[in-house]
Amino acid sequence: MLVKTYGSAVQGVEAQTITIEVNAGGNVPSGSPLFHIVGLPDKAVSEGFRRLEAAIKNSSYRILRLKLIINLAPANIRKEGSSYDLPIALGVLASTKQIEAPLLDSFVIMGELSLDGTVRPVKGILPIAIQTKRENKTGIIVPFENANEAAIVKGLDVYPVKTLEEAIDIVSGNSAIQPFKTKVQDQDLSSKKFHLDFSDVKGQENIKRALEIAAAGGHNAILIGPPGAGKTMLARRLPTILPPLSFEEALSTTKIHSVSGLLKNNSSLVTDRPYRSPHHTISDVALVGGGSNPNPGEISLAHNGVLFLDELPEFKRSVLEVLRQPMEERKVTISRARISVDYPASFMLIASMNPCPCGFYNHPEKECVCGPGIVKKYLNKISGPLLDRIDLHVEVTPVSYDELSKMNYSGEQSQDIAKRVVEARKIQDTRFKDFSTIHSNAQMSSRMAREICSLSSEGQTMLKTAMQKLQLSARAYDRILKVARTAADLQNSKNIELEHLAEAIQYRSLDREGWSN
């Protein structure tokens, strides 16, 4: 008897429905294999029959001595992982007439089976649920721990199951299980509490201002300063002033974490902007994504959030160079012989570095011991094209003892800075309302930047002088315009004034002669 059930395969952050055809017929001679599975399965799928054989027996059913042919269609898509256990098991029971399952082909079914028949959670449920809704299926049957994740999709009936028997009852039409409901769509993404706060940081007002501009415009930034100046401490507080995720941003971020298997059991939506801080020993594949079966890398996991690279020159040159294209295109394309997938990668790059190997070049009090040419060699570990893609170069100087020893210091709180950032982002939302892929000043194309960020004649003269003196590239020119526009937005200024332009120019520290010699 031939029966059909449906699963799903995830490619990148999108899913495609897989038809699982199970045909049972003809007795199998002793010693011959009971089943044949075709349709480009990986080893985890092929080995799954051993798991479901035990699960079926421990659920009071039998594996009959019938030849089973299982086809996963379309055959040109690779099927990976253990999430096909549950739909295959239901197909086997229906094809051998051990269960009546009139609703079997009405659902997309995913889940890993334990030997005792319990259903384990799987990854990638959110994009699978979205695809199920597009195809107007009756609903989706998922492991109980994945129910919150699947229920994010409005208008989709989600049936959580803990055991194989519960899944059998649903496809047989005998279940009392009701579709799972969640109110995650109504969740307030704006009310966040952080353990860190900018009010804890003594001094460093100019650095806080630079990070405020970075947050308001979505700009990349690099912090340059000696060890112990507070670069990492400041970077860790950046998420506290970023605007809250919109529901669409939260959904796209959750999809990436879902296919990576990073969502905790019973969790639903990623509500905080990601903050990823990989170690400098990371490989280029781990940073960008890839592998024989492509998976998202750190830059995709930082989508709609912050990627912090501490001690940037210590990263391998090849690792840093692979950042260049994703920083421009805000996506990663991973190509393999059989498949090419895209992962979104719209992140803010925040990096930190010492100014030289000893860390005290340009220090106001300590003397640098690096020999001639050492500083330039150290800075050359970071390529010019990568530095051009970083909007703000910010010098971080150590805080004085008098500043540190203040007992009654009360700095500006993150929530107050965040309010200004949110207002600036609202201005940008209005500005880019006709552009679906642009949400902040940093995302403007060069053409848009030159149209939107118009300068007065005095501003053009100032920028021309800076370009000639600092020998800035065309890309740096665009960065200055975008940063100046953000500084103007923070003051709710319609035009870019000279003070905004001057502030943007000063954030090109590594382009100045003192750093390049």
The answer to whether residue 446 is domain-embedded is: no
The answer to whether residue 38 is domain-embedded is: yes
**What secondary structure letter does DSSP report for 203?**
S
Residue 436 tokens read as: 């679906």
The answer to whether residue 169 is domain-embedded is: yes
The pLDDT of residue 163 is 96
* pLDDT exceeds 80 at position 377: yes
| Confidence class for position 259, pLDDT limits 50, 70, 90 | very high
| Confidence class for position 33, pLDDT limits 50, 70, 90 | low
Phi, psi at 374, each rounded to 5°: -70, -40
The answer to whether residue 497 is domain-embedded is: no
Contact 495, 226 (CB under 8 A): no
| Confidence class for position 486, pLDDT limits 50, 70, 90 | very high
pTM comes to 0.88
Q: Note every long-range contact of 131-134, with CB atoms under 8 Å and residues 24 or more positions apart, other chains counting.
A: 131/8, 131/14, 131/15, 131/16, 131/17, 132/8, 132/17, 132/108, 132/156
DSSP three-state, residue 8: strand
Domain count, the chain: 1
The one-letter code for the residue type at 92 is: V
- In whole angstroms, what is the distance from residue 93 CA to residue 227 CA? 65
The answer to whether residue 447 is domain-embedded is: no
The pLDDT of residue 282 is 94
- In whole angstroms, what is the distance from residue 474 CA to residue 133 CA? 46
> Tens digits of per-residue pLDDT, 501-512?
999 999 987 765
Residue of 380 and 127 predicted with greater confidence = 127
Residue 292 tokens read as: 């024989």
Q: What is the mean pLDDT of the chain?
A: 88
| Confidence class for position 188, pLDDT limits 50, 70, 90 | low
> Tens digits of per-residue pLDDT, 49-70?
888 889 999 999 988 878 889 9
Work out whether the CA dihedral 357, 359, 362, 366 comes out positive or negative. negative
The pLDDT of residue 369 is 87
Q: Which of 241-255, 264-278, 363-377, 396-410 is predicted with the least confidence, judged by mean pLDDT?
A: 396-410
The answer to whether residue 27 is domain-embedded is: yes
The pLDDT of residue 57 is 93
CATH number, domain with residue 174: 3.30.230.10
The pLDDT of residue 159 is 95
The residue behind tokens 């047989």 is 172
* Of 274, 339, 261, the residue nearest 304 (C-alpha): 274
* pLDDT exceeds 60 at position 517: no
| Pairing, β 107-109 against β 14-27 | unpaired
* pLDDT exceeds 90 at position 215: yes
The answer to whether residue 93 is domain-embedded is: yes
* pLDDT exceeds 60 at position 191: no
The answer to whether residue 62 is domain-embedded is: yes
Q: Which domain, by its residues, includes 150?
A: 2-182
The pLDDT of residue 349 is 96
* pLDDT exceeds 70 at position 271: yes
> Tens digits of per-residue pLDDT, 304-361?
999 999 999 999 988 998 998 898 889 998 887 677 888 999 999 999 998 888 888 7
Please, is 302 exposed, middle or buried when counting C-beta atoms within 10 Å of its C-beta (0-12, 13-18, 19+)? buried
* pLDDT exceeds 90 at position 381: no
The pLDDT of residue 12 is 87
- In whole angstroms, what is the distance from residue 489 CA to residue 484 CA? 9
The pLDDT of residue 78 is 86
